[in-house]
Amino acid sequence: TGAITRKIKGNTAMRHPQLWMGLLLWSVFGQAHAAWTVNMAPGATEVSHAVFDLHMTIFWICVVIGIIVFGAMFWSMIVHRRSTGQEPAKFHESTRVEILWTVIPLVILIAMAVPATRTLIHIYDSSESDVDIQVTGYQWKWHYKYLGQDVEFFSNLATPADQIHNQAPKGEHYLLEVDEPLVLPIGAKVRFLVTSADVIHSWWVPAFAVKRDAIPGFINEAWTRVEKPGIYRGQCAELCGKDHGFMPIVVDVKTRADYDTWLTERKAQAAQLKELTSKEWTLDELVARGDKVYHTACVACHQAQGQGLPPMFPALKGSPIATGPAADHLHRVFFGKPGTAMAAFGKQLSEVDIAAVVTYERNAWGNNKGDMVTPKDVLALKQAQGK
């Protein structure tokens, strides 16, 4: 009986391959159907709601036009088909028809242009903001500066390297997590001043309906007003280089009270960091801090063990820079190397972090120079350069 059943199934599969293909496609796509959607999301801000409402308005106008046009076409094809003995009307260059198919589309376009223009004016009205934030794109991180608040920081990718290199399971927010999220207060009008320090980037948060190009030498404006607290994620939407996919955006929207508390803490941290510049550091302390800085700002190019990715990203392990004079090493990290992918970190990192990462590179991976660069050395370099 089993042999007969297998033979019948085999014959059925051979005679009806399309049946089995259909069942296979149904099993694959049927399970994902519940999470599949074709419409855009309403978002979580005043701007995104305005964009969504405009989208739906234009969509339904197009639906009505489609129903009328295709309805008239199919009605004419069925009712006036040749088999029923219909005789075509004999007219040419009807003035009435010419006027109708010119005036009607013009009225439709005006009806669509009015709400579209109103929405665009609303989107670009960034006046009377409560919070102003300068957003600067770097390869490959974002810098946020709260204007007038003496608070600024870099936001770097926080996904572990083991996940990126398929040595560990992917996390829930793979490539969409950062060490320092942008923090906004709920209900406040926040103006973004978007620019770039190197190449063209694009700051994009879908839930905010905000997407602005970050162009070196230019400042583009955008604004948002988030209506409910939560975590919102985005990405750089411009192909900005090798690690373009490692440049996420995370926005943490807090209540007014929580935002004020966070802002106070950040100001205190900034003041504390300035005090650390005058501290007498030990070699072990700088190496420990430099380890963290390196694995945040440098590991993507120079790799975890300092082996680099030659020829674009040279190795630091045993390199002439990391094992040569400390002053040359500091100069390279501070000013970068023009014409290469080596960025200038003088404006990206604090005096403490620059000193720590240089000291770490000189004493990691067997370099073992035994010397160190202190924050005072970095501060002296800045003062000498008028920075």
Rounded Cα distance, 346 and 330, in Å: 10
Which tokens is 362 given? 């000189």
Structure confidence at residue 57 (pLDDT): 92
Rounded Cα distance, 126 and 223, in Å: 6
Q: Do residues 353 and 254 touch, judged by C-beta distance below 8 A?
A: no
DSSP-based three-state secondary structure for 205: strand
Rounded Cα distance, 189 and 226, in Å: 8
Q: Do residues 143 and 92 touch, judged by C-beta distance below 8 A?
A: no
Rounded Cα distance, 384 and 387, in Å: 8
Q: Do residues 178 and 151 touch, judged by C-beta distance below 8 A?
A: no
Structure confidence at residue 11 (pLDDT): 46
Q: Do residues 174 and 168 touch, judged by C-beta distance below 8 A?
A: no
Going through the chain in order, the beta strands assigned E by DSSP cover 131-138, 141-146, 151-155, 182-185, 190-196, 201-205, 210-214, 220-224, 230-236, 248-254
Structure confidence at residue 165 (pLDDT): 84
Kindly report the number of other CB atoms within 10 A of residue 219's CB atom.
Answer: 15
Structure confidence at residue 85 (pLDDT): 81
Q: How far is CA 44 from CA 89, 125, 153, 213, 221, in A?
A: 55, 18, 25, 21, 19
Rounded Cα distance, 298 and 143, in Å: 16
Rounded to the nearest angstrom, the gap between the alpha carbon of residue 282 and the centroid of all alpha carbons in its chain is: 39
Rounded Cα distance, 249 and 84, in Å: 65
Q: Do residues 205 and 181 touch, judged by C-beta distance below 8 A?
A: no
Structure confidence at residue 5 (pLDDT): 43
Rounded Cα distance, 266 and 258, in Å: 12
Which tokens is 84 given? 């029923």
Residue closest to 377 by CA, chosen among 385, 368, 365, 367: 385
Rounded Cα distance, 77 and 63, in Å: 21
> Mean pLDDT per 10-residue run, the chain (387 residues)?
44 50 55 62 89 93 93 90 80 81 92 92 91 93 92 89 87 92 95 94 94 94 93 93 90 95 90 79 91 86 87 88 90 86 82 91 91 88 73
128 backbone φψ class: left, alpha, beta (φ>0; ψ -120 to 50): left
Half-sphere exposure of 185 (CA within 13 A, CB side): 19
Structure confidence at residue 1 (pLDDT): 47
